Amino acid sequence: FLFFFCICGAMWFLSSLALVAVVFFFGLFLLYQVLRDREGEYRLEQYNFVDPRSNEICPFGNIYDEPSKYISVVIPAYNEQDRISVMLDETIEYLKERERLDDTFTWELVIVDDGSRDKTVEVVQKYVAKHGTDLIRVNKLKKNVGKGGAVRRGTIVARGEYILMADADGATRFSDFGKLESSMHNIKQNGHGVIVGSRAQYHDVESESERRPWYRNISHIVFALLVDTLCVKGVKDTQCGFKLFSRNSAREIFLSMHIERWAFDVECLYISQRKNFPIDEVIVEWAEIDGSHLSVISASVQMFKDIFRVPLLYRLGYWKFNSSV
């Protein structure tokens, strides 16, 4: 009996040791996956735009310049030839009406073509030819860098005192910019402020237009729980593509950011909270638009990975904040 007891004890010990070893090496594997892609510090680049009326190539300014517009709308676009016209028509109509009512209201659109393989640039350049490069400019990237990278490359060339990020599919009603604008004026402190557009369904507000596939809702619930636990506290909808930044906040945030794909919103808001920028969340009208280029599975895997990377790499000092003024 004693021999049998010893054998069982030894087997239990070896099994426990093996389990500990598996957990340990699995943890090392996960840590390696999190740490292996440490994007380097972003370096400010020079970009140009083309005036379709004269075919002249003109240089963009950058985020360190003094603002010369009240609002810049940065629109990342990838293969959006079939959807972007509706969004541009709605946006331009709203902005021109605001300009008509208030001659101090000045604006521009910065469309960032993220290496599109369709005719997105040709579609947008027709708007540039009609309205002029003082109002609409295209930053055409040579290769696809991801939505976050496109937003960054639009933000750093924007001329606005305020910079609005808006999706090319027009999912958010553009007139809701007014809500974000009012909130910005209420919370802005020392030149800083970040306003997050937030879809109604994440605030227990019913909206017929926001009905989404069940799998997208489940993934969002899990993602939002992890984000709130690990990265960004108190923001119910980090992923809505409708956010307003003061110029000072945009400069510090987008020159600090490392993530350039779908989880860039999380890093953006993580930086904002770590820097103690005033943040508010405003409910906007949003609708599911057909034609999304998002691959749910691959994007979800990368996003879940990134929400672990963001706090870890900043806490370990691999990533640092840009505090340039």
- Which tens digit of pLDDT belongs to each residue from 270-281? 999 999 999 999
Percent of the chain with pLDDT over 90: 63
Higher pLDDT, 262 or 39: 262
CA distance 303 to 17: 33
Q: What's phi and psi for 163, nearest 5 deg?
A: -125, 120
Which of these, 309, 192, 184, lies nearest to 258 by C-alpha position?
A: 309
Minimum mean pLDDT range among 91-95, 173-177, 198-202 = 198-202
pLDDT at 288: 81
Helical (H) or strand (E) element with 193: none
Helix (H, G, I), strand (E, B) or coil at 213: coil
What does the pLDDT average to over 42-53? 91
Minimum mean pLDDT range among 34-38, 189-193, 195-199, 276-280 = 34-38
Decide the pairing of beta strands 194-199 and 279-284.
parallel
What does the pLDDT average to over 273-298? 84
What does the pLDDT average to over 29-51? 73
Helix (H, G, I), strand (E, B) or coil at 12: helix
Decide the pairing of beta strands 194-199 and 160-166.
unpaired
Residue 77 predicted with pLDDT over 60: yes
Minimum mean pLDDT range among 71-75, 214-218, 233-237 = 214-218
What does the pLDDT average to over 40-59? 90
pLDDT at 73: 98
Residue 146 predicted with pLDDT over 60: yes
Higher pLDDT, 38 or 244: 244
pLDDT at 34: 58
Which of these, 245, 255, 251, 258, lies nearest to 311 by C-alpha position?
A: 258
CA within 13 Å, CB half, 236: 14
pLDDT at 209: 45
**Residue 261 pLDDT level (bands cut at 50, 70, 90):** confident
CA distance 260 to 155: 13
CA distance 241 to 221: 17
Output the pTM of the full model: 0.85
